Structure 1
């Protein structure tokens, strides 16, 4: 590299996302009324947020699933509000167009409505989120109402609720029995009545998800809930194939990033050990001196 080279030494992370109209709650509802499926994908950092935004994803969910897929925990229960704020701010730096929703982690809204409003407010103000997501139905409906009344948009989440994993006896499909299906339907109606603008349906039979979608007047976003919802969500690491382990039944791997990543890094290791990298094209030189 000579003194005339203009390429940056280490590159830059400031690549701008193409300027397009931001996705808002009214525009999401317009998609819903037009029967156009809504796409939601989890994001945990600026790089993935930028990629997903450029791909045309409607909603970026900063999920407390980061406890499992980023932090390596067995469940989501140890994730804190500060964790969520940190990752939400990272995502906000990478995305310019998509609607951004942040999960309220375990015990950030269950203790009292006042604490729930305070924590939800932090996620919007400090995390630069557009809305928050809460798990639960009738039991949290009053809390949802308090948060909504404070001017904070809320997305609901019923069916399989990961924060209740121990009470449910593990990550199991919910609503198979008629009485359980009725309970989940009542939960969905309660969440809508409390003022939620959308509703995640997780881990429930497809026919039940269709029934709920027909019963409510807000978009339903399914994950493991069949094709009859108003939209779909997947964890970005799942859909890109970033895990070696067997994936849940409802996940489709659209790529094999884990396998391809191992191959790429192995090739790098081989090149370093064989002194094939760095080559002349990757090495900085001295400026030419006059002779």
Structure 2
């Protein structure tokens, strides 16, 4: 159970769910080849509360830069932003293992820099793990963190923080050279001690081979149903945006519902149909 709980006497985000035993890093690691692991992104306490009973992991992704802040990419996202949202998600969850993205510039310089950033994330949020992008070049950093008690989720394939170097968001692994390199990246990160690996935006045969080649769970996003789990950005799968990546399935059209509800509200305000006696305070007696 999280030690970062909300005050249900004053918070709108209640009732507090009955505490459940939170999933652990070994439990996720041992799910390799078993029931698929369910992962979604979460950025706020209320969304965490809704998603928590359904998910095994909640990822506080640096995708919040685009989704919440309207930034052009995840590159400008700061460590402070990730910590603020990560702490909220931990407070709103009791069951899922919470993983927080390490933002661009907070870990690439050296393993020591990565440890300082990761330690701050974990101390200030209560999260169980961090996620960082990169293949073989980041293996030393993953090993450094893992050896010091910081669980790490790796991320290979289409790595959004490297979008400028990659030249865009196209699928990876189409050339034989890149295919072989990405297999090597997956093996290096798994061998360095990561307990799970996000595989994003790669051709399906590569995602399948990666899953078979390493002994830790793969979490696909634009990979394959043969991965050990799947993750999507919550706002994409709920239909909050018109434009979504090819690999997204929309399970709802919430943007349309919100537009309709707000339109009705605006009409009621302008016609003075709202508020009614039911939404106002009347004298007693």
Q: Distance between the aligned counterparts of 1:117 and 1:124, measured in 2?
A: 10
Task: Provide the rounded CA distance (Å) in 1 between the counterparts of 2:267 and 2:190.
Answer: 56
The partner residue of 2:145 within 144, 147, 165 is: 147
One of 267, 271, 274 as aligned partner of 1:274: 271
For 1:241 and 1:181, the matched residues in 2 are separated by 32
Query: Residues 1-291 of structure 1 correspond to what in structure 2 (within 5 A)?
Result: 12-33=12-33, 35-54=34-53, 56-243=54-241, 245-288=242-285
TM-score normalised by L of structure 1:
0.92
- Whole-Å separation in 1 of the counterparts to 2:118 and 2:12: 33
What per-residue deviation string (whole Å, max 9, x for no partner) do you get for residues 15-74 of structure 1? 2123322111222234324x20001100001011011013x1111000000111111011
Q: Is the 2:60–2:85 Cα contact (8 Å) retained in structure 1? A: yes
Over aligned residues, Cα RMSD in angstroms? 1.3
Distance in 2, matches of 1:144 and 1:174, equals 22
Which deviations, in whole Å up to 9, do the C-alpha atoms of 1:214-244 show, x marking residues without a partner? 010000000001211000000000000011x
Tell which structure's C-alpha radius of gyration is larger: 1
Question: 1:79-120, CA deviations, whole angstroms, 9 ceiling, x for partnerless residues?
Answer: 011110000011111111110000000010011211110000
Gapped regions of structure 2 (runs ≥ 5):
1-9
For structure 1, the residue ranges without an aligned partner over 5 or more in a row are 1-9
**Displacement after TM superposition at 1:14 (Å):** 2.9
Structure 1 equivalent of residue 5 of structure 2:
none
Aligned equivalents of 1:196, 1:242: Cα separation in 2: 32
Mapped contact 2:32–2:215 kept (Cα < 8 A): no
Aligned to 2:4: none
**1:132-168 deviations in Å (ceiling 9; x for gaps):** 0010011010011111111000000000000100110
Q: How many residues align?
A: 276
Q: What secondary structure, in the 3-state scheme, does the structure 2 residue paired with 1:210 have?
A: helix
Q: Determine the C-alpha separation between the residues in 1 that align with 2:101 and 2:236.
A: 18
Deviation at 1:11, TM superposition (A): 7.9
Residues 84 and 127, structure 1, Cα contact 8 Å, conserved in 2? no
Equivalent-residue separation in structure 1 for 2:225 and 2:255 (angstroms):
27
How far apart in 1 are the matches of 2:12 and 2:117?
34
